Chain A
């Protein structure tokens, strides 16, 4: 594999890579787009909490002997809704979220114990997959299901996007203009929950943040136009996934979740560095109004 083009063609010919790219691209795009609003609304911690819920939900499903994805989605969407209904967006405080979700993670360990003692095939591979992802091991049918769910969630997000932007930046005025602010909050956290469930399958519950926070944060440093930032966030997230998958293929010793996380971390660090150095020029240049 000395020639990169041949190597790439060879890689794309592999079915497991095709599945990984189909599922991964759609999940990464979803994560990047949803993440833009997560970062804008300052809900990174709530999103992190939902990834713990994803872990506990998946293991609860395994312990109960049902499809793991059912547990993932049911738990994350339900908790996302509850979090949104309880909190409003600033009210749910850090200590409450932190305590509740450490306990949820504890529940996950509890379900893991049930699963490993009562299941005939019980092993810790499923546990590791939920925690750290298994995108290179995803089946053709699981890949297409994941892709369709991602497409559906993206479509829903696009419908909500403009009122959600308004409600995120300026909730009082948005509410007076007729935006259903109190409905959007819980609905958005339910979408974040479903995204956490999706991304758990690709990169794992614990590493979700590589795609949900780093690319959006990078995009918001690169542009101050909201819709450009929104699209850029999705594209950067996809880019991180592709680079991660390629590197993991070229260096099979490296786990793919590690290479994706490393890419997104390097991307964010690089963008912070570049925008910080260029910052004075950056803010002066944007002086004139160009709507």
Chain B
């Protein structure tokens, strides 16, 4: 197994303020990893650093054996977002297609003139849409798709270049419970069947808990990484925060972290 992501005492500062520092971790190929922690600890910043959009202020980071930002063609990215405007009259398939060649200058040639390259591109679009099970609504304007449908189409967009790493920023946040479960299962399936490493920022760990290989818990400017049953424990989190933290389990096996210093984390 080779590491797709490696941080060595990495630090990030935004506008002169250190968000986190001394973070060392490794993500292996095909692993499903969640980034957890209260609001404002820099979970999204970690993803942006992986993409090379936010520079490190210290330490080192290797992404797919290269510097961050140099290998984004091999990374699928799903940013944190609001839904598309309901008036966006562009089909889901077109949104997915932009993930394949949207960065190329010029305009795509129409149907027949595009030749075999155009045919291959269309087949690839159909393939990923089938993979995420979005065939029934991919031809509809994306603004008219539901939150869960939009999220599946965007995952298809992120997968279209056959990435080795998927970087997902709160993909479950705006979804209802049923969709959270089905999108989580979809991400797990993609992770296993395509052997893609997944780095997913989550606000609530419970929908993905059964699928996770590793957890990165960010808090208090630092991070702990390990299997969920080792990291999401009263002892580890108490050590990380430096104040007493409890981890409770309800009858359905759902985890609840109690006593995190950031009040926002519990109310959202």
A159 to B107, CA, bound (A): 7
B78-98 vs A, CB cutoff 8 Å, 1 = contact: the mask equals 110100100011111111111
Selected from B91, B104, B125, B135, the residue in CB contact (under 8 A) with A286 is: B91
Selected from B90, B103, B125, B140, the residue in CB contact (under 8 A) with A226 is: B90
CB nearest neighbor in A for B129? A289
- Among B133-186, those with CB < 8 Å from A are 134-141, 144, 157-158
B98–A166 contact, CB under 8 A? yes
A161-172 vs B, CB cutoff 8 Å, 1 = contact: the mask equals 111011001101
Given that A286-B91, A290-B93 are contacting pairs, would A176 and B102 also be in contact in the complex, using a CB cutoff of 8 Å?
Answer: no
Selected from A163, A172, A230, the residue in CB contact (under 8 A) with B104 is: A163
- Among A245-280, those with CB < 8 Å from B are none
Chain B residues with CB below 8 A from A291, complex form: 93-94, 96-97, 122, 125-126
- Among A173-189, those with CB < 8 Å from B are 173-179
Residue B110 is within 8 A (CB to CB) of chain A in the complex:
yes
| B121 shortest CB reach to chain A, Å | 8
Given that A227-B108, A283-B144 are contacting pairs, would A166 and B94 also be in contact in the complex, using a CB cutoff of 8 Å?
Answer: no
B139–A286 contact, CB under 8 A? yes
A226 to B88, CA, bound (A): 11
Given that A169-B90, A291-B125 are contacting pairs, would A158 and B106 also be in contact in the complex, using a CB cutoff of 8 Å?
Answer: yes
A291 to B160, CA, bound (A): 14
Residue A224 is within 8 A (CB to CB) of chain B in the complex:
yes
Given that A169-B95, A173-B157, A290-B93 are contacting pairs, would A162 and B101 also be in contact in the complex, using a CB cutoff of 8 Å?
Answer: yes
A289–B126 contact, CB under 8 A? yes
B29-64 vs A, CB cutoff 8 Å, 1 = contact: the mask equals 000000000000000000000010100000000000
Residue B77 is within 8 A (CB to CB) of chain A in the complex:
yes
Residue B99 is within 8 A (CB to CB) of chain A in the complex:
yes
14 A-B pairs (CB sep. < 8 Å): A161-B107, A163-B105, A169-B98, A173-B78, A173-B99, A173-B158, A176-B75, A178-B103, A226-B94, A229-B89, A283-B141, A287-B139, A288-B135, A291-B93
Residues of A within 8 A of B (CB): 40, 158-163, 165-166, 169-170, 172-179, 220-221, 223-227, 229-230, 283, 286-291
Please name the 5 residue pairs, one residue from A and one from B, whose CB atoms are nearest each other, closest first.
A166-B102, A289-B138, A172-B79, A291-B125, A224-B141
